[in-house]
Amino acid sequence: MIPLENVRIALQGVGSNRMRSGLTILGILIGVASVIILVAVGNGSSIAIQSRIQSLGTNLLQVQSQPVFFRAGGQTATLTQSTNLTAADVHALEQHDLNPDVAAVAPVLTASVTATWDGNSYSPSQFLGTTPPYRRIAGYRLAHGQFFSSAQLHSHARVVVVGQTVVSSLFGGQSPVGQSVQLNGATFQVIGVLAAKGTSGATNQDDVMMAPLTAVEDAITGYQASYSRIDVEAASPSRETAAEYEVATTLDTTHHIASLASGNLQILNQASLISTSTAQTFTTLLAAVAAISLLVGGIGVMNIMLVTVTERTHEIGIRKAVGARRRDLLGQFLVEAVLLAAIGGVVGVGVGLLGSHFQIVGVTPVVAPYSVALALVVSVAVGLFFGLYPASRAAGLQPIDALRHE
């Protein structure tokens, strides 16, 4: 029989048994669509978390002095001069020829303040005295106004930049730029509002106020021999390890001892730590999601195919009884399976892509191209296999044995 006739028989079979064809297509469709959507949801949450980590500042290194009383040995808890982070350290780190992979350096002095405005008072969880590079290092952007400049730093200007939580908690949600605010009794002028950045772990990065280091020392903390920490930005995420090494070397030199090795100083790169472990967690999670949805889709397709095996075997018996050869039957079932799998696959991809446009449990799905290919290949393979399975089994039977399936 000419192959065209196989196509026609298959089309006739598909068209005349709408229920069976519809269920088969539906099985493949659901398999393909669920894989695409589930993987897209996983991928979407992964991307959301990664971008949140990015917003933390991926190139960030934090140098902190380790309080001596945490050290073992039972000695008296005193901070020695050698472990203090000073302007000399900042200056040394700013030497570009010594630290080629360091992009920016900012000393940070933290304090607790109570801010008062228009009869309201509020204590932000973070109050920082710092220098202009800090904004870039920490990855903040401005919503209104501006960040303080080097000139304002040098002139000890009493200006302050506030985060969104402070805007809503202290200023009733209105832009406070230009307003005067009392910080522990000293008057500062608000010159900028930071754009929302969200939370990082337990820290609300929007519950923050920052002012020039000089003004903070003048008005709030008094002169400090040591900074709370020094924040350093690596030139790029890939240079972070090199930058960390340069920072360590430089600090060892300025302090004349191996402060890092002794544990007196500590360089933290939480961001990269969180970022890599999260990426790994998500790769594993995504693989699991894809595997489970493929399994679910595959079982769906398999079920529908197997349910019809008896019926199909009987049909094969009828066809054999009137003279169909093995190759006629295999040809018919192959064309039919390809047709149903192709329709189910294509519509499934369509539904999957469409479904991925909607927010699902608060996640914006992001379609992973590999999931489309994987879903298509697996579902279509399962569809083909179980579509051909009854034919290949029954085609070898005596017609009367195939007819007995009813």
Partner 1 sequence: MAAGTPVIVTRQLTKTYAGAGVAVAALRGISLTVERGEYLAVMGASGSGKSTLAHILGCLDLPTGGRYLLDGVDVRGLGEDQLARIRNRKIGFVFQSFNLLAHATAIENVELPLIYQGVARAERRHRALAALRSVGGERWRDHRPNQLSGGTIQKVALARAIVTDPALLLADEPTGNLDSASSDDVLASFARLNAAGRTIVMITHEADVAARARRLVRIRDGRVVEDRPISSERPVAAAVAAAPPAGARDQPQPLGQPA
Q: Give the footprint of partner 1 on this chain (CB under 8 A).
A: 1-2, 5, 9, 12-13, 16-17, 315, 317-326, 328, 398-401, 403, 406
Nearest distance, CB of residue 15 and partner 1, angstroms: 9
Least distance in angstroms from the C-beta of 21 to partner 1: 10
Q: Among residues 376 and 402, whose Cβ is nearest to partner 1?
A: 402
For partner 1, the closer of residues 236 and 398 by Cβ is: 398
Q: Quick one: 20 or 158, whose CB is closer to partner 1?
A: 20
Work out how close the CB of 382 gets to partner 1 at its nearest, in angstroms, rounded to a whole number. Answer: 24
Name the minimum Å distance from CB 304 to partner 1. 16
Write down the least CB distance from residue 31 to partner 1, Å: 25
Integer CA distances (angstroms), 71 to 53, 109, 254, in order:
31, 23, 22
CB of 274 to partner 1, least distance (A): 60
State which residue, 130 or 313, has the beta carbon closest to partner 1. Answer: 313
Minimum distance of partner 1 from residue 339's CB (angstroms): 16
Per residue, what are the HEC states of the chain?
CCHHHHHHHHHHHHHHCHHHHHHHHHHHHHHHHHHHHHHHHHHHHHHHHHHHHHHHHCCEEEEEECCHHHCCCCCCCCCCHHHCCCHHHHHHHCCCCCCCCEEEEEEEEECCCCEEECCEEECCCEEEEECCHHHHHHCCCEEEECCCCHHHHHCCCCEEEECHHHHHHHCCCCCCCCCEEEECCEEEEEEEEECCCCEECCEECCCEEEEEHHHHHHHHHCCCCCCCEEEEEECCHHHHHHHHHHHHHHHHHHHCCCHHHHCCEEEECHHHHHHHHHHHHHHHHHHHHHHHHHHHHHHHHHHHHHHCHHHHHHHHHHHHHCCCCHHHHHHHHHHHHHHHHHHHHHHHHHHHHHHCCCCECCECCCCCHHHHHHHHHHHHHHHHHHHHHHHHHHCCCCHHHHHCCC
Of the pair 94, 328, the CB lying nearest partner 1 is at 328
Q: How far is the CB of 23 from partner 1 (least distance, A)?
A: 14
Contact 335, 21 (CB under 8 A): no
| 313 neighbors 393 (Cβ within 8 angstroms) | yes
Minimal distance in Å, beta carbon 330 to partner 1? 12
**At closest approach, how far in Å is the CB of 328 from partner 1?**
6
Residue whose CB is less far from partner 1, 2 or 72: 2
**Closer residue to partner 1 in complex, CB, 97/406:** 406
| Burial classification of residue 253, based on how many CB atoms lie within 10 Å of its CB (0-12 exposed, 13-18 middle, 19 or more buried) | exposed
Closest by Cα among 62, 225, 186 to 134? 62
CB closer to partner 1 out of 136 and 326: 326
Which CB atom, from 137 or from 324, has the smaller least distance to partner 1?
324
For the CB of residue 381, give the shortest distance to partner 1 in the complex, in Å.
Answer: 26
- For residues 272 and 308, which CB has a smaller minimum distance to partner 1 in the complex? 308
CA dihedral 394, 395, 401, 405 (to 10 degrees): 40
* Tokens 């018996």 belong to residue: 317
For partner 1, the closer of residues 197 and 320 by Cβ is 320
Can you read off the two tokens belonging to residue 352? 């999957």
